[in-house]
């Protein structure tokens, strides 16, 4: 949305016949508010890689030392796994590099169907459907369900927020991970909404991430299911940061044994599965409805077949080979313990380890110092997180060695001392 300043400028320019957009002015404004984002090219998607300064339209130059990357969502390191890479190459050869059309036209290939059968199996659902990204999945699914009212966790991902906007649903935000607040807000709506005057026909959708990407905590799904069921609503759970990491390659829903109490299970192929794309899993009727009504599925080219082939192989590895998951959890424990021993406050209980320092300038200074120690872990500040909770989001991978985890810890200790944070 344009700020007041740029609206004033636009008013002024209107008089001169200028109906353009002034991107440079908008960037300057972002700069002023400390909200300018930058790209950081990396040479390869691995736990260690050279990085380059943003060269704009020019070619990036990777002439520095290798950096240890603690910033990726490729938690199991499968984007660099030879078996996954081979599956992508074979699918490209056998099926094609692109789907060529919407799945509903001629883009529906055996690569998609095989992946969807395996995803449905991993999520204990009747059927699954893949989209070209997790973002497109949330936006498409929520708007196709077209709920009258959405109850959404305060820290849900932006793609859920955008899905609610596109659905034009009345959105009630409940306190983060708080089933009691959810119950109170649903009760209030039941007492004061149209149902109170005899119109019980409203459709209600409760939406929550299972693992929250910035806090690394886990939604209390069982009590949420109890609340949802007591009001006859539906529950949709976003397993973007959990898929492949728990219960036989499933997510938190599977770990908690709640597959049959969650109406819509959503996730991405782009994080622990090392590929690209999103999925939704549920009943046969739900999936049939979505492939008819989700605009980001209907009016978009099908997921690229090599991405489907790669995700399927990664899912197989996540389900059949415990070694990657075990390595990840060992690394997480070593890193969390080491950071806490060093005097940092580390939130969450998952592979996402947010090191909360509070002040936004401190977080960005720590990000900078870590980089000078060849450690890349991004500083996250408002508005992405609430004021006073700026942090470094540290995400170890299964493919980091013990020595690399220790190098990360040493850098945190030294940088923290230099900045007086620990
Ligand atoms: C919770 C959550 N949902 C959805 C998405 C979107 O997934 P994708 O990156 O595959 O578009 C993300 C991505 O960061 C996410 O964190």
Domain residues for 112? 82-320
Q: Which has more confidence, 16 or 87?
A: 87
pLDDT of residue 298: 98
364 and 294 share one domain: no
Q: Do 345 and 406 share a domain, yes or no?
A: yes
* Residues framing ligand 1 (Cβ under 6 A): 133-135, 138, 157, 159, 209, 213, 238, 240-241, 268, 270, 278
Report the half-sphere exposure of 2 (CA within 13 A, side-chain side): 12
Alpha-helical (H) ranges within 153-208 are 158-167, 179-192
Q: Output the pTM of the full model.
A: 0.94
Q: Is 324 left (phi over 0), alpha (psi -120 to 50) or beta?
A: alpha
- For the chain, how big is the Rg over CA atoms in Å? 23
What is the per-residue pLDDT across 127-164, written as a single tens digit (0 to 9) for each?
999 999 999 999 999 999 999 999 999 999 999 999 99
Out of 270, 300, 320, a domain closes at: 320
Tell which of 293, 320, 347 closes a domain.
Answer: 320
Q: Which atom of ligand 1 is nearest to the CA of 138?
A: 4
Q: Lowest-pLDDT range, 59-68, 186-195, 309-318, 367-376?
A: 186-195
48 falls within a domain: yes
Count helices and strands (H / E) in the chain. 15, 14
Give percent helix, percent strand, percent coil of the chain, each to the nearest 5: 45, 15, 40
Question: Phi/psi at 378 (nearest 5 deg)?
Answer: -75, 140
CA distances from 65 to 6, 80, 366 (A): 42, 20, 19
Whether 247 maps to a domain, the answer reads yes
User: Are residues 159 and 295 located together in one domain of the fold?
Assistant: yes
Contact 237, 219 (CB under 8 A): yes
Is 36 within a domain?
no
Pairing of strands 234-238, 170-174: unpaired
* CA 134 to ligand 1 center in whole angstroms: 5
Quote the pLDDT of residue 111. 98
Choosing from 49, 152, 213, 275, the catalytic residue is 213
In a domain? residue 28: no
Q: Last residue of a domain, which of 299, 320, 341?
A: 320
- Do 133 and 236 share a domain, yes or no? yes
Mean pLDDT calculated for residue range 100-109? 98
Same domain, 57 and 96: no
188 and 51 belong to one structural domain: no
Q: Give Cα 410 to chain centroid, integer Å.
A: 29
Q: Is residue 274 part of a domain?
A: yes
- 213 catalytic? Reply is yes
Residue 248 has pLDDT above 90, yes or no: no
Does residue 359 share a domain with residue 294? Answer: no
> Does pLDDT of 395 surpass 70?
yes
Mean pLDDT for the stretch of residues 309-336 = 96
Q: What are the tokens at 320?
A: 């059949």
Asked if 220 and 117 sit in the same domain, the reply is yes
Question: Which one, of 49, 95, 96, lies nearest residue 68 by Cα?
Answer: 49
Using the mean position of ligand 1's atoms as its centre, give its distance from the Cα of residue 326 in Å: 24
Same domain for 132 and 54?
no
Q: 283 in a domain, yes or no?
A: yes
Report CA dihedral (244, 246, 252, 253) to the nearest 10 degrees. Answer: 80
Q: Does residue 411 fall inside a structural domain?
A: yes
Task: Look up tokens 């209600």; give the residue.
Answer: 204
Residue 35 forms part of a structural domain: no
* 360 touches 335 (CB < 8 A): no
Judge if 309 and 389 occupy the same domain.
Answer: no
Number of domains in the chain: 2
Domain containing residue 302: CATH number: 3.40.640.10
């Amino acid at each position: 949305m344009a700020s007041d300043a740029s609206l004033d400028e636009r008013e002024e320019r209107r008089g001169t016949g200028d109906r353009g957009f002034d991107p440079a002015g908008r960037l300057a404004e972002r700069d002023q508010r400390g909200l300018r984002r930058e790209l950081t090219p990396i040479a390869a998607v691995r736990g260690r890689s050279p990085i380059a300064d943003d060269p704009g339209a020019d070619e990036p130059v990777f002439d520095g030392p290798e950096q240890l990357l603690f910033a990726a969502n490729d938690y199991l390191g499968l984007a660099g796994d030879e078996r996954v890479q081979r599956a992508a190459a074979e699918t490209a050869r056998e099926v094609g590099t692109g789907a060529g059309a919407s799945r509903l036209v001629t883009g529906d290939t055996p690569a998609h169907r095989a992946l969807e059968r395996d995803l449905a199996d991993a999520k204990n659902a009747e059927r699954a459907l893949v989209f070209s990204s997790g973002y497109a999945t949330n936006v498409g699914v929520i708007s196709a369900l077209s709920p009258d009212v959405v109850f959404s966790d305060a820290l849900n991902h932006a793609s859920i927020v955008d899905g609610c906007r596109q659905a034009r649903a009345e959105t009630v935000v409940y306190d983060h991970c708080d089933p009691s607040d959810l119950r109170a807000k649903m009760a209030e709506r039941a007492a004061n909404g149209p149902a109170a005057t005899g119109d019980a026909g409203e459709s209600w959708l409760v939406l929550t991430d299972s693992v929250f990407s910035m806090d690394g905590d886990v939604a209390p799904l069982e009590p949420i299911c109890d609340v949802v069921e007591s009001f006859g609503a539906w529950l949709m759970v976003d397993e973007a940061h959990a898929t492949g990491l728990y219960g036989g390659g499933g997510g938190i829903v599977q770990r908690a044994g709640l597959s049959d109490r969650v109406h819509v299970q959503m996730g991405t192929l782009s994080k622990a599965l090392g590929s690209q794309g999103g999925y939704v899993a549920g009943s046969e009727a739900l999936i049939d409805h979505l492939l008819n009504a989700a605009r980001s599925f209907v009016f978009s080219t099908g997921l690229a077949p090599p991405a489907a082939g790669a995700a399927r192989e990664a899912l197989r590895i996540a389900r059949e080979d415990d070694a990657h998951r075990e390595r990840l959890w060992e690394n997480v424990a070593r890193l969390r313990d080491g950071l806490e021993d060093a005097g940092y406050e580390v939130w969450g209980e998952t592979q996402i380890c947010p090191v909360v320092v509070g002040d936004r300038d401190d977080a960005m200074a720590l990000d900078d110092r870590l980089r000078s120690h060849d450690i890349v872990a991004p500083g996250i500040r408002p508005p992405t997180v609430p004021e006073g909770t700026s942090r470094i989001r540290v995400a170890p991978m299964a493919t980091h060695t013990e020595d690399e985890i220790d190098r990360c810890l040493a850098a945190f200790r030294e940088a923290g001392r230099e900045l007086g944070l620990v």
